[in-house]
Structure 1
């Protein structure tokens, strides 16, 4: 589980609720009409923007990726590529057939090498799968980004509804308070949903998509390097370009110590 996502949401809502409780009654900030306008309107408008299947898949994929998906460590991928390249240079590509590889994308690339597929075909298949996978993952980010754009707008719509109700009852002072409350609470709901949930989740999904793209490109280069019989040390130097500078060289140092 991605603890940063969960911790951020829990901490954010806790601080907001504490601020409300210490200044006023929490019940004053609960309004069913406001929830219907903001939440219902946001999800309904987003449904118009996407196909039903993309909409539902985006929500499911977004929640799963934001809370549960763990990105592979690039250093672990490089270490695996180094080990596989040594085996391939010693025993040939057929020697990789029974090697355990947890990453399905990496496993597919290595299996294609073992099967004797042409290098151009292997690279084309892996790159196409990488692009299509990123496209599918990006749908979730787009859906949550749409939620973040729409929630404040429906908060403003709720504000207008509350103001209209309030102005329509100026002759009845008892109805001015509820109308003004509806006007302000919907704006609050829209802002909280957008700034604390939807936009941060969309940014998290975008970041994870970037990490996935980086890791898949790293795997493509790893597979091609293994296929071409590249020297493990040279392969490390090639693959470490995917790492920040402060992490480079650690793989070679570890091997020398061993």
Structure 2
């Protein structure tokens, strides 16, 4: 569990609530279901229209990484890479076949299989680079739904404000109903700007960092596999690994 993410959200919401109270307002005035519905559903609808179902679903599933990031395998794989290099130098490339079914990483398994199959090192690099590019493009396309939400939410909030003001104008003859319309108008703007800058954009940036770490890990493995296929000295492989530390 990433407690920093939970603390960040709690701190942001607490800051807004504390500012409202210190300014003489009440927390209850910020709780407007109609305003939240307009902003949240409107934003998600716009994002779905832009991104398509596959990217939208993928991006929503990635939200869990903000609070429970994928377990990093970098340190373990670095040790494994040194073992693969030493084994290949000592016993030959075919000796790596015994590691193919035991490595707990699909990308590493793919690289090992390419080496065992005797693929040319340059072809191995080309294949692994295409794999990295495809992975990064797919993941970043999913992350864009949160960036898009951060862009649409403030505008949808303004739309909610206009709807609230229309409600106010329709009920000028009934003062008792003016307060709710004005509340929806202003709170919708708060929801739009707040969700964009306190939730959507921070989530997008955190997911970018997580994907960036995974891309660097795969690039490291691609370098390692090319070195092993070329028969480079274990010291060379180690230096390549240290370059990614």
- Is TM (by shorter chain) over 0.5? yes
Counterpart mapping for 1:174-213 below 5 A: 174-213=176-215
RMSD: 2.2
Question: 1:67-122 CA distances to partner (integer Å, 9 max, x unpaired)?
Answer: 33326354543332222111111111222222342222112101221222232332
How does 1:51-90 map onto structure 2 within 5 Å?
51-60=52-61, 62-70=62-70, 72=72, 74-90=74-90
Give the superposition deviation at 1:6.
3.0
- 2: distance between equivalents of 1:52 and 1:145? 16
Structure 1 residues 3 and 104, CA gap change in structure 2 (3 angstroms): farther
Which residue is equivalent to 2:129? 127
Distance 1:93 1:64 in 2: 39
Q: Which residue of 2 aligns with 1:160?
A: 162
Encode CA deviations 1:214-240: one digit per residue, 9 max, x unaligned.
111111001111111211112222232
Q: How many residues align?
A: 242
**1:15-52, Cα deviation, whole Å (9 max, x unpaired):** 44455567544332221210221011101111211222
Per the alignment, in what secondary structure is the counterpart of residue 98 of structure 2? coil
Residue number in structure 2 paired with 1:232: 234
**3-state SS of the aligned residue for 2:4?**
helix
**1:115-166 CA-partner distances (Å, limit 9, x unpaired):** 2223233222211111111111112210111111111111111111222222
Give me the whole-angstrom Cα distance separating, in 2, the residues matched to 1:26 and 1:163: 22
Q: Quote the Cα distance in structure 2 between the aligned partners of 1:68 and 1:125.
A: 31
Given the two structures, how large is their TM-score scaled by the length of structure 1? 0.84
SS of residue matched to 1:170: coil
Q: Does the alignment pair 1:39 with 2:40?
A: yes
Cα pair 2:220 2:240 within 8 Å, conserved: no
Greater alpha carbon shift after TM alignment, 149-158 vs 160-169: 160-169
Preserved contact between residue 2 and residue 70 of structure 1 (Cα < 8 Å): no
Unaligned runs of 5+ residues in structure 2 are none
Query: Quick check: 1:71–1:208 contact (8 Å CA) kept in 2?
Result: no
Is the 8 Å Cα contact of residues 87 and 96 (structure 2) preserved in structure 1?
A: yes
